Structure 1
Amino acid sequence: MKFFEQIAQSIVEKASAALDVSMSITDAKGTIIGCNNVDRLGSYHVVTEEVTKAGRSVIFTKENVAGRENVLPGVATPIRFQQQIIGVLGIIGEPDEVGKYVEFVRTHVEMLLQESFRTETFYLQMKTTELFIQHLIHFKEWDNEGTLQNYCEMSGFHFDRPRMCILIDIEALQTAKREKKAVRISQYDLFQIISNYLEDHAQDIISPINPGQWIVLKYIDHYDLSKARRQCEQALRALKKFLQNQNAPSYVSIAYGKSYEGFAGVSRSYQQALQTLSTGKQNKKSASGVYAFDDWTILLNALIQEIKPAFAETLADYVEKLLSHSNAPVLVESFLVYCEQGLNVSRAARKLFVHRNTLLYRLNQLNEILSIDTQSFEQSMLLYMALKQNKAMKQPMQVT
C-alpha cells in the first residue's frame, strides 16, 4: 500500500517524540518502512511473519531475542486496515515499560491510515470527476457524447432533468497560479465547504475545473432560484472566512447560469455562468459577490461585451469625440446616472447632488457635441452602451 509507506516514517517520528520511545513499522512483507534508526529502513524484520500469524501482540524479552538478527526487545502488534493485517508496529524497550503505549499507538496508526486512504480516494475521484466535467462543459466543441454516456453509466449520474451550473472563483488561487506563489489551501477542505452549502441531492456534482475555480452542477427538481442565491451567499461567506483563517486573500466570486436538460444544456449553463462571472467581476462594486445570469444588469453588461469589433469602432468614434471635450468626465458621469435613473432628470439630479437645471445644461451640452437627443430612449441607450463598452475594454479580464 503506497500511502502506508508514505506516512509510516512520519508517524514514527511524531509518535516517538511525543512518548519518548523508539519504534518501528513494517509492511506486510516484513520490510521496515518507518524507524527511529534510519539505518534499519528497508531491512527485513523477521518477527513480522510471527506477529502476523499470531494475530495479536507479541512480547520480545532480552532473553528470547538473543541471537536473532535485527530483532530488539519490546512489544510488537499487528496493524489492521479494512479487516486485514497490513504490517506490524514495534515499540522498542523493556516490555513492562513500553507495553502501556502499544494499544494507543496502534489505534493512532490505524486512524491515520483510514484518514490517508480517504484523502487519497478523494483526490482520485476528483481527478476522474474533473476529466468528466471538462468533457461536459466543452460538449459542443469536443463532440463526445459517447464518452459522457459511458461515465454516466459507471457513476450513476443522470442528465434527463434540468441542471444549473454554479462557478466559484477563488482569487487567491488564481493569483498564486499567475505569480507562481505557494498557496497551501486543501482541495479537500474546499470541497467540504462547497458541498456543505451547495449540495442538496446525490446527483449534484462538485469538482475543481482549474487551479482557481470550482464548478457545481446542481440537479434541479422544482428548485427555488431564491434558495439557490441564498445558498450561494452562504457559501461565499463560509469560503471567505475559511480563506481568512488560512491567511489568504479572501476574494471569492460566485456566478450561476440558468437550468437546462441534457449534456448540451449543461454546457450552455456553464457558458452563461462563465460570462456572468466575467461581467460581474468587471463591474463589481466590492471584492466579492454573487452574480446571476438572469440579472438584467448582468445581461446588459454581457451584451455590451458582445458588441462586434466593427460596430464597436463606430461607437468609439462618438465616444472619443465626447471624451476629447474639456468637460468630458462630468458629462459622462451625468449622462450615465441620467440613464440609470430611467431618463428622469429630477431623480438623476438628486443622485448627482446638483440642481435640476445644472443637469439639463449638461445634457444640452451632450446634445450639441454628439447631435444626440438625450430625451430619446433609443438614442440614449445606444450612447450608454457605447460608454459602458469603452469602459469595459479598458478593464483587464479577470477570469482565466
Structure 2
Amino acid sequence: MKLFEQVAQPLVEQTSSLLGISLSITDEKGIIIGSDNKERIGTLHPVSSRVIEEGREVVFTKEQVDNLENVLPGIAAPIWFDHKVIGVLGIVGEPENVRRYVKFIRSHIEMFLRESFRTESELVQMKTTELFVQHLIHYRDWKDTSKLEEYCQLLGVHFNRPRVCLLIHVPALGELSSQEDPPLTQLQSLISHLFRESNEDIVCPVTQDQWAVFKLVDSKDEPKLKRTCDDAVSKLTAFLDREGVRGGVTIAYGKSYTGLEGAARSYQQAKKATKAGLRSDPEERVYSFDSWSILPDIFLEDIDLRFLEMFADDIRNIWEFPESDMLIETFIAYCESSMNVSKAARNLYIHRNTLMYRLNKISELSRIDPQSFEQCMVLYIALKKRERNPLFMKGSGKGLL
C-alpha cells in the first residue's frame, strides 16, 4: 500500500517524539518502513510475519530476542486496514511498561490511514471529474467519445436522463493576485450543497472563476430552476462577502438535454447566456439561455463577421462620414425604439426633426429605406457587430482590417 509507505516514517517520528518511546512500523512483507532509528529503515524485521499471520499482538521479552537479529524487546501489534493486516507496529521497551501505549498508537495509525485514504480518494475523484468535464465541454473536438464513456463508468454517472448545465461565475476570483488565497474548497462545498440533490449531479470548476453544474432535471423541476438559482446567488454572495471577496455572483443555465453531446450543448448555451446577460442586463444575476431578453444579444454574438463583409462596400460610407458616431448612435436608438421616430427622439433628448435629418443622412449614405424593417435589421446587426469588433471594416481597405 503506497500510502502506508508514505506516511509511516512521519507517523513514527511524530508519535515517538510526543510520547518519548521507541517505535517501528513494518509493511506486510516485514520490511521496516518507519523507525525512530533510521538505520533500521529498509531492513527485515523477521518476526513481523508471525504477527501478520496470527493477526494478534505478540510480546517479546529481552530473553526471547537475545538470539534474534534485528528484533528488540517490546510488543508487536498488527495494523488493520480494510479488514486485513497491512503491517506491524512495534513498540520497544519492557512489555509491561509499553503495553498501555499499544491500543492508543495503533488506533491513531489506523484512523490516520483511513482519513488519509479517504482524502486521497476524494482528490483522485475530483481530478477525474475535472478531466471528464474538460473533455465534455469540448465534446465537438473529440472524434472518439469512448474516453468520455470510460470516465462515466469511473465516476458512476449516466447521461441517459435529461441534464441541464448551470454556469456559476464569480468574476472577482479571476482578479485575485497570486498572494491571495481564495476560499475555493469552501465555495465548492457550498455550491455542491446548494445544487447536488443526486449522487449523479456533477459540480466542478472549469476556470479559476467559474464552476459548472451538470444537474439531473425532470420537466417538473425546470420551472423552479430560476428560483433555485436566485436563492443560490443570495447565499453565495453572502458567503463571499464574509470572506472578503467582492464583486457579486451570476448563474446562467442552458436547456436540458440527454446524452453527452446534449450536456456539452447545454454548457455552451450557459456560457453564451453568461456573456450576453452580463452585457445586456448587468444588474440581473440569473440568466437563462431561452430568455428573450438576452436572445438577441446571443444572436448577434453568433453572426459570422464574414457574412457582413459581403455587403461592407454598401455601408462603408457611414464609417467614413465625419460624424459617423452620432449617426450610428441615432440609428441604433431608432431601431431599439421599435422604429418609432417620436420615441427615439425622446430617448436621445433631441428634436424629432433632428432625428429625421440624421436618418435621411444614413439613408443617403447607405441607400437603405429607414421605413423598411428588413433593411434596418441588416444595418442594425452590422452596426452592433461593429461595436463589439472595432476592427471590423476599419480603415479604407476591404475586409476586417
Please point out which of 187, 197, 200 is paired with 1:200. Answer: 197
Please point out which of 355, 358, 365 is paired with 1:365. Answer: 358
Find out whether 1:292 has 2:288 as its counterpart: yes
Within 5 Å, which residues of 2 pair with 1:152-231?
157-168=157-168, 192-207=189-204, 214-231=211-228
CA positional deviation for 1:308: 2.2
Q: Is the 8 A contact 2:22 2:91 kept in 1?
A: yes
Supply the distance in 1 between the matched residues of 2:319 and 2:48 (Cα, whole angstroms).
Answer: 83
The amino acid across from 2:165 in the alignment is C
The amino acid across from 1:198 in the alignment is F
Supply the distance in 2 between the matched residues of 1:246 and 1:20 (Cα, whole angstroms).
Answer: 41
Q: Is the 8 A contact 1:321 1:370 kept in 2?
A: no
The amino acid across from 1:220 in the alignment is V
Describe the shift of the 1:93–1:246 C-alpha distance in structure 2 as closer, same or farther (beyond 3 A).
farther
CA positional deviation for 1:258: 0.6
Q: Is the 8 A contact 2:183 2:243 kept in 1?
A: no
* Partner SS for 1:216: strand
Q: Is the 8 A contact 2:341 2:356 kept in 1?
A: no
* Aligned position for 2:395: none
CA positional deviation for 1:28: 1.6
Find out whether 1:270 has 2:267 as its counterpart: yes
Measured against aligned partners, the alpha-carbon deviations of 1:304-356 in whole angstroms (never above 9, x if no partner) come to: 122222333367668875566666656655665665565667877787xx745
CA positional deviation for 1:393: 2.6
Tell me the TM-score normalised to structure 1 length: 0.70
Supply the distance in 2 between the matched residues of 1:295 and 1:346 (Cα, whole angstroms).
Answer: 28
Supply the distance in 1 between the matched residues of 2:58 and 2:207 (Cα, whole angstroms).
Answer: 50
CA positional deviation for 1:39: 3.4
Measured against aligned partners, the alpha-carbon deviations of 1:249-296 in whole angstroms (never above 9, x if no partner) come to: 98866432111234443343233234334545666748x954321122
Describe the shift of the 1:128–1:21 C-alpha distance in structure 2 as closer, same or farther (beyond 3 A).
same
Q: Which has the larger radius of gyration?
A: 2
Q: Is the 8 A contact 1:345 1:356 kept in 2?
A: no
Supply the distance in 2 between the matched residues of 1:244 and 1:62 (Cα, whole angstroms).
Answer: 64
Within 5 Å, which residues of 2 pair with 1:254-265?
254-265=251-262
Q: Is the 8 A contact 2:74 2:98 kept in 1?
A: yes
Q: Is the 8 A contact 2:289 2:295 kept in 1?
A: yes
Supply the distance in 1 between the matched residues of 2:340 and 2:18 (Cα, whole angstroms).
Answer: 74
Describe the shift of the 1:306–1:124 C-alpha distance in structure 2 as closer, same or farther (beyond 3 A).
same
Measured against aligned partners, the alpha-carbon deviations of 1:100-139 in whole angstroms (never above 9, x if no partner) come to: 5543443332223222322333344456556665665566
* Aligned position for 1:39: 39
Bigger Cα displacement from structure 2, 230-239 vs 22-31: 230-239
Find out whether 1:304 has 2:326 as its counterpart: no
Measured against aligned partners, the alpha-carbon deviations of 1:204-255 in whole angstroms (never above 9, x if no partner) come to: 3445667876543322223433532344455556667777888989886643
Pairs aligned (count): 388
Bigger Cα displacement from structure 2, 331-340 vs 220-229: 331-340
The amino acid across from 1:89 in the alignment is L
Structure 1 unaligned segments of length 5 or more: list them.
396-400
